[in-house]
Structure 1
Amino acid sequence: MNRARHIAIIMDGNGRWAELREQKRVNGHEAGAKVVRAITEFCAKDEDIERLTLYAFSTENWKRPRLEVEFLMKLLQKYLESELENYLQNNIRFEPIGDMRAFSKSLQQTVKGVQEKTAHCDGLVQSLALNYGAHDEILRAVNGIKNSQEDITEAMLSNALDCKHNVDLLIRTGGDHRLSNFLLWQAAYAELFFTDTLWPDFTTDELERIIKDFTKIERRFGGLK
């Protein structure tokens, strides 16, 4: 039986969820942040799940309206500050991925602080992809090892990436069927699940059903069984 050791989720649909309720898009982001906590706590209690990587803010999200981007930065700061105690109580280690240099010094310090304060936790690893794009991640990795005296190998490149762990199960909410520049290297053999459910409506019950379906899949990794 397959084990979903590393689950990655593209959390899509916050804005549309709010618009359907004739609310501001930022209300959808606030509702989505609450779901992040519920899903993370659920995964922390499942002994099979070792890592949960969530697409929180992409390198392309800077193109959104300025006020929405500013709100997302404040929401991220608030989320991390409020979740620290929850991480510690649930033995969750926080490991962000992405290029943090574009964030304010204050936000960078918060991200680093939460990472350092949860470094001793040895349960679930929750990664938020922040200012993340797979193309950017791969380019930064290549630039980091391009001066190597040896030929670059798959292992060298993999170890130079922000996320060094292959994805078993990748889920996208919100109805679209694309990867949107998320963990392209790590998801090479991931099983992909797409759901029409908007992220603020995504529940632990639906995640549990997806995991159950995942366990029944025959994964061949390009070979034959």
Structure 2
Amino acid sequence: MVDTVEASANKLRVFVKDTLLGEDISIEVNMIVLAVGMTPSATSDLNLSYRLGKGLPELKYEFSDSHFICFPYETRRTGIYAAGTLRAPMDIASCIEDAQGAMLKAIQCIEATKRGESVHPRSGDKSYPDLFMDRCTDCKRCTEECPFGMYDETEKGTPLSNPSRCRRCGICLGSCPERVINFADYSINSVSAMIKAVEVPDEFEEKPR
């Protein structure tokens, strides 16, 4: 993204912002040709039934947040994939190639769902969060911290899980102060046991508890 342009002797110096790496770059050129500005389409028309909003989460420049955990097509809405100028400025040829990649991801999603498997990030995982609601205090930590909108709420504010949106990231497991949430293949207790099993030399005062 072009930031500023300065005249330098008989040439021009362009200062650009690499939005992917977050770095400032300076380039010396003879001529500059600026493309027509692009404005991403609004996604609120999708009218999604998420407590986090009807559209897709957006990045700083209003482009769809489709780089979560470094996967270019995936959005924070399971089963919805962004492509083309919805997620970044690009020309027609790049849009076509980008759409093909998003289409393949959508096919993988459909096939995995038919088998009852996780789509991402842990492909093949069949476990979902298991909530022991007897200990739940309705603190809403899980509903607020889940980046994928997996949890809705009842009229009383009690968490209501929607497994079809789950990515098995485990954020809700770590956010719950009452240890209400666990998975079939890993839990707070299993992770704690693995940490405690690590041998720490006696000279270290801080040891796993």
TM surpasses 0.5: no
TM-score normalised by the chain length of structure 2: 0.26
TM-score normalised by the chain length of structure 1: 0.25
* Higher share of residues assigned helix: 1
* Largest Rg, 1 or 2: 2
